[in-house]
Amino acid sequence: MNQNCPSCGALYNVAEKDIGRKLKCKKCSSALVVTDDGLAADDGGAPASDPKPKREKAAVADDYDDEPLVKKNKASRFAGGGGLAAIGGIPTILFGIGVFFVIMFTSMPIIGNAGSDRAKAGVDKLKHEASVKKQALMPKGKKLTELSDSERKDISEKSDKIDEEYNKRIIDAEIDAAGTAISNRRDVWFEQYGLMFGFLFLAFGCLGYLRTDQALVLKIVSAVILGLMMLFMFAKFSGCNMR
């Protein structure tokens, strides 16, 4: 059964039970009548008898009382409706997730390197403390050659105690620094995967903006971001050092 307005093509939900009913097209205001073959222009003839009692209501579906039942295209569905439309639809969600992933997994190597430097600085700090304490053992205003044998022996014993106190702490700090550096190198695998998924979400978000009804400026920005991502990936896989 033909469900389209013969004048403008607007789609209506009519069935066999609606035969003989008249309505006015919500889109082009044409007078229509439901016939055996479907919707047809009403030429002013007598309306067909209504074999079944029906409610006094237009033949359009309940969900489309105020406008023609028009099929939504895929781009409109992808953009989202209702609450999603207020934030830009599904493309905005994908774009936001992509930005979050890219920022997080780009920052992780920087934070990891800072952690390695901090661990190495911890080793230097302990060595510096031990050196300062040893220097404090020397009497003020005297040189090592001016000390008596007993003073030299006393300073040597105290220096050995300082070395004994700090050597284990320095070794533990060096082990911790080495472990941090190794962990950062191992994390590169995970960080690259996260960055890849971030770029994928960004790409789908940009494509969603380009495929749906969005402002021209937003489409231009999306196209630029897509182009920059392609350049980045080309440089990354062609052997350029991006870190």
Give the model's pLDDT for residue 19.
84
The reply to whether 58 and 93 lie within a common domain is no
The reply to whether 60 and 101 lie within a common domain is no
Give the model's pLDDT for residue 169.
93
The reply to whether 104 and 220 lie within a common domain is yes
Q: Could you tell me if residue 117 is inside a domain?
A: yes
The reply to whether 138 and 228 lie within a common domain is yes
The reply to whether 208 and 233 lie within a common domain is yes
Instruction: Return the number of other C-beta atoms located less than 10 Å from residue 116's C-beta.
Output: 18
The reply to whether 89 and 173 lie within a common domain is yes
Which of 71, 93, 113 delimits the end of a domain?
71
The reply to whether 173 and 60 lie within a common domain is no
The reply to whether 119 and 203 lie within a common domain is yes
Give the model's pLDDT for residue 23.
84
Q: Could you tell me if residue 173 is inside a domain?
A: yes
The reply to whether 62 and 142 lie within a common domain is no
Number of domains the chain contains: 2
The reply to whether 33 and 145 lie within a common domain is no
What's the pLDDT band for 184 if we cut at 50, 70, 90? very high
Residues of the chain above pLDDT 90, percent: 32
CB 31 within 8 A of CB 42: yes
Residues of the chain above pLDDT 70, percent: 79
Q: What is the chain's Cα-based Rg?
A: 39
Q: Could you tell me if residue 7 is inside a domain?
A: no
Q: Could you tell me if residue 4 is inside a domain?
A: no
Those residues with Cβ within 8 angstroms of residue 130's Cβ, 6 or more apart along the chain or in another chain: 162, 163, 165, 166, 170
Given a cut of 90, whether residue 114 has pLDDT beyond it is: yes
The reply to whether 134 and 213 lie within a common domain is yes
Residue with tokens 């770029």: 199
Which of 26, 48, 71 delimits the end of a domain?
71
Q: Which residues constitute the domain of residue 189?
A: 83-237
Per-residue pLDDT of 9-46, as tens digits, reads: 777 777 778 888 888 888 888 888 888 888 888 876 54
Per-residue pLDDT of 130-181, as tens digits, reads: 999 988 888 887 777 777 888 888 888 999 999 999 999 999 999 999 999 9
The reply to whether 171 and 231 lie within a common domain is yes
Per-residue pLDDT of 58-75, as tens digits, reads: 444 444 344 444 444 444
CA distance linking residue 31 with residue 53, whole number of Å: 22
